[in-house]
Structure 1
Amino acid sequence: MIPQEIANTIVDPKAYAAEKPVDEAFAYLRKEMPIEQAQPEGFAPFWVITKHADILEVERQNELFHNGDLSTTLTPIDVDRKVRELMGGSPHLVRSLVQMDNPDHMAYRRLTQAWFLPQNLKKLESRIREIAKVFVDRMADMGGQCDFAKDIALYFPLHVIMETLGVPEADEPLMLKLTQELFGSADPELNRTGQEAPSFEDGLVAMQAVIGDFITYFNAMTEDRRANPREDLSSVIANGQIGGQPLDHFAAMSYYIIAATAGHDTTSNTTAAGLWALAERPGDFKRLKENPTLIPAFIDETIRWATPVKHFMRSATADAEVRGRKIAKGDWMMLCYPSGNRDEEVFDKPFEFRIDRAPNKQLAFGYGAHVCIGQHLAKLEMRLFWEEIFRRVESIELAGAPKNSVSNFVCGPKNVPVRYKMQ
């Protein structure tokens, strides 16, 4: 078994906020125990998958390793038991693409997949650039100093995905608040309880309330889009059919929730992390400003560097073997994306930020059947935003200590105070 101290570290939300403790834990595991079982306090035992190649091997075998049979995110025993009581035996409070396996996963994914293909995103490019310019203008209006994470990075991807969904701009603050409460349930500055360390019971009650607020909102949107369909993603979900039947209500609500949360939060985290890195590396900022052709490689490196989704869980549908270790049917497995993205066998000097890293086999979007459906939109948003930044901002530096959100699931910078000069 993995030593108890390390097992506790890799599930500790504060360790991910601090970064160093979890980086050191994963570095030890990659070297000494690349695949081993852990049993942190309060959790059922699970396998910890830390190497890049092994994460890909599990993800490419989506029939052998399921998303939906057990909880798809790290869940304490007491919470899992309570969720199953509430959900009629299911371990999931929502049932989005993330919690589905085939045949449902592919059927539901096909509903919106075309929206996110590169060729279809071209029609959105000019509008996304307009939005990017608005937010760079906002930086210009702020007098050379802002909290980049809180004032800019949070809102740019939010506005893009909400406009794509058809959510009115007036409702964006609500969507942001609910997203932060959902992903920041362990963060006292973001969670709904306001508690430093909410009990499992209080945290679950708060999570139910957040999901309930999302469902109330999107119920009304579904009724509207069925009566008055538009050219937006919400109309696709509201009027979609699987096997000639309307979407199951719970799955439809979950579809909205995943689009309205993961559709912007991870991009916000990555963008904020990228600027944080550049503010500490003025030479890199200057290189990108002088040579914008480096932007795509820089974006891949910020995605690797940030790895905003810290893990997903899988479970074995049959006895299996990974890196020579015997995984039994029903075993729970943790895919550790930050560890895979720091794997010394794949990335030269992985703890260095390199804007021209090539090749860059970052796996932050996942792999196989469950690869992130919105990855091309996220990269497009970031490319257009950085093009406008490097066109308009002359220089930038930190104006205080950045701070990450507290979470072991989705985590990234929540404060990046900076000073800058505009051209």
Structure 2
Amino acid sequence: MRLTAVTPARPVPLDRIDLYDPARYRSGEQHPAWHTLRAQAPLWAQHTPEGDRFWSVTSYADVSRVLMDDRRFSSAHGTILAVARGDSAGGRTINLMDQPHHASVRLPSMRTMATRLVRERREIVRGHVRRILGEHLASGEPVDFARLMLQLPMAGVGEIIGIPVVDWPAVPRWAMAGVAPSDPEYATGSEADTLRNAHHELMALFAGLIADRRRTRRDDLISVLLDLDYLGRRLDEHELLLNCYSFAMGAITTTPQVASHMVLAFADRPAAYRAVRENPALVPDAIEEALRWASPTNHLMRRTLTRVQVAGQWLDEGELVCAWVGSANRDEKVFTDPYTFDPARSPNPHLAFGVGAHRCIGGPAAQVVLAVLLEELVATCAGFEVAGEVVHLHSNFINGITRLPVRARSAVREGVTR
């Protein structure tokens, strides 16, 4: 989705707003619509093509409230609009569990995905990032940065999850096909065929890894899942597969999009990139701004567990509520100049990782790998230029870029020092 760089000049007529259509995210932008809804219709009803009604919340306060309140808003039915009629994995995998089931999987897993462990691996991650970048940017020739960045999440969490390096090149494409099966970049036939192929490949991979860990435990998430106490029992085979799949999908489908949107923002705003190069201490703040700016997860869906008031209106039990994270991260009541990409923005209470019990468990890993990437870029690249058409992902869920041809200017060649 194209990211609006100025405050929308005029409201969008409500009857022209469509937050479901994935094509609108590939060919246009939704920020003007979100801006209008925050001002005019903070709770807004729409139907999916199949006729299922969902209510949208777009303000920071309402999005936060829906995601925080896991007693009234359930994740077990499904968390994305694509499964508005219910996810077949509901209640069996970490992202589709309510309490106490969710905590029984999340808490042991957090010890493996913890910030401390990730930070201890920072130089290992740096080695992987340097290998991914290679000489692509130093050559001065155009490179498709979006395709290059598909490997980035593996540098951060591949070994932590337990995915062998030999499988890293294939896994991201399967994962992206799983969330955007209608996108031409990842389609392998019809949407149903693409989903079937992606799920088969990923499940086959994890089935083999689970069998290996049953024989020999390792210091990775798969081994943790095998041994965790799930309310007095072990996860069964299908639950193990689903949770491995969920952990991988959460990291793989989002981190590359933040990296691509960040480089595109820097290409469009040379002064912002120059500010980070001249003051590398800005890297952590710049990464938080990239996360806010990109908001790689457009929305998260919940289902009401009881009659509940949302944005001043009452909803009955069983209603679908879609929390638009991308909109919340542009809320003028929270962020000064929200349509400005400011690498020095602070504070920056963005919701890119969600909030509450379901806050992204891989957030610390993403922050580290993105920071390492930016450190490597500012050390070697004087700037970026877009060298062709930028193509966005056909998805209402992931705010992605599938093609980002850029030419990097070499800091060494130009004699530019920090």
With normalisation by structure 1, the TM-score equals 0.89
Q: Which amino acid aligns with 2:276?
A: L
d(CA) in 2 for partners of 1:280, 1:398: 8
1:374 maps onto 2:385 in alignment: no
| Of 286, 290, 295, the match for 1:302 | 290
Corresponding residue number in structure 2 for 1:18: 27
Q: Is the 8 A contact 2:257 2:296 kept in 1?
A: yes
Measured against aligned partners, the alpha-carbon deviations of 1:233-259 in whole angstroms (never above 9, x if no partner) come to 222223333244221222211111122
Q: Which amino acid aligns with 2:362?
A: G
1:179 maps onto 2:179 in alignment: no
Corresponding residue number in structure 2 for 1:108: 105
d(CA) in 2 for partners of 1:156, 1:213: 20
- Counterparts of 1:280-359 in structure 2, within 5 Å, are 280-359=268-347
Measured against aligned partners, the alpha-carbon deviations of 1:292-331 in whole angstroms (never above 9, x if no partner) come to 1111111111111111111111111111112211111111
1:5 maps onto 2:12 in alignment: no
1:225 maps onto 2:225 in alignment: no
Per the TM alignment, residue 118 of structure 1 is displaced from its structure 2 partner at its CA by 1.8
Corresponding residue number in structure 2 for 1:196: none
2:81 partner SS: coil
1:396 partner SS: strand
Residue-pair matches, total: 399
Q: Which runs of 5+ in 2 are unaligned?
A: 1-12, 413-418
Corresponding residue number in structure 2 for 1:36: 44
1:163 maps onto 2:172 in alignment: no
d(CA) in 2 for partners of 1:115, 1:164: 7
2:16 partner SS: helix
1:399 maps onto 2:387 in alignment: yes
| Of 61, 73, 81, the match for 1:74 | 81
| Of 199, 204, 208, the match for 1:216 | 204
Q: Is the 8 A contact 1:144 1:421 kept in 2?
A: no
d(CA) in 1 for partners of 2:83, 2:90: 14
Aligned residues: CA RMSD: 2.0
d(CA) in 2 for partners of 1:217, 1:224: 11
1:139 maps onto 2:148 in alignment: no
Per the TM alignment, residue 94 of structure 1 is displaced from its structure 2 partner at its CA by 8.8
Per the TM alignment, residue 131 of structure 1 is displaced from its structure 2 partner at its CA by 1.6
d(CA) in 1 for partners of 2:135, 2:104: 41
Corresponding residue number in structure 2 for 1:46: 54
d(CA) in 2 for partners of 1:320, 1:166: 41
Q: Which amino acid aligns with 2:43?
A: I
Per the TM alignment, residue 280 of structure 1 is displaced from its structure 2 partner at its CA by 1.1
Structure 1 residues 354 and 145, CA gap change in structure 2 (3 angstroms): same
Deviates more, 1:268-277 or 1:403-412: 403-412
Measured against aligned partners, the alpha-carbon deviations of 1:7-60 in whole angstroms (never above 9, x if no partner) come to xx200112122342x222211111110112222432311111111000111122
With normalisation by structure 2, the TM-score equals 0.90
Per the TM alignment, residue 359 of structure 1 is displaced from its structure 2 partner at its CA by 2.1
Corresponding residue number in structure 2 for 1:264: 252
Per the TM alignment, residue 110 of structure 1 is displaced from its structure 2 partner at its CA by 1.6
d(CA) in 1 for partners of 2:326, 2:137: 34
Corresponding residue number in structure 1 for 2:7: none
1:357 partner SS: coil
Corresponding residue number in structure 1 for 2:70: 62
d(CA) in 1 for partners of 2:322, 2:294: 19
d(CA) in 2 for partners of 1:134, 1:287: 26
Per the TM alignment, residue 76 of structure 1 is displaced from its structure 2 partner at its CA by 6.7
Structure 1 residues 93 and 323, CA gap change in structure 2 (3 angstroms): closer
Per the TM alignment, residue 349 of structure 1 is displaced from its structure 2 partner at its CA by 2.1
d(CA) in 2 for partners of 1:229, 1:67: 31
Structure 1 residues 192 and 94, CA gap change in structure 2 (3 angstroms): farther
Q: Which runs of 5+ in 1 are unaligned?
A: 85-89, 194-201
Measured against aligned partners, the alpha-carbon deviations of 1:97-125 in whole angstroms (never above 9, x if no partner) come to 11111111010112211122222222211
Structure 1 residues 330 and 259, CA gap change in structure 2 (3 angstroms): same
Q: Which amino acid aligns with 2:155?
A: H
Q: Is the 8 A contact 2:156 2:365 kept in 1?
A: no
Q: Is the 8 A contact 1:309 1:337 kept in 2?
A: yes
Per the TM alignment, residue 172 of structure 1 is displaced from its structure 2 partner at its CA by 1.7
Deviates more, 1:297-306 or 1:34-43: 34-43
Q: Is the 8 A contact 2:90 2:96 kept in 1?
A: no
Q: Is the 8 A contact 1:148 1:272 kept in 2?
A: yes
> Among the aligned pairs, what percent are the same residue?
27
Per the TM alignment, residue 220 of structure 1 is displaced from its structure 2 partner at its CA by 1.4
d(CA) in 1 for partners of 2:90, 2:176: 17
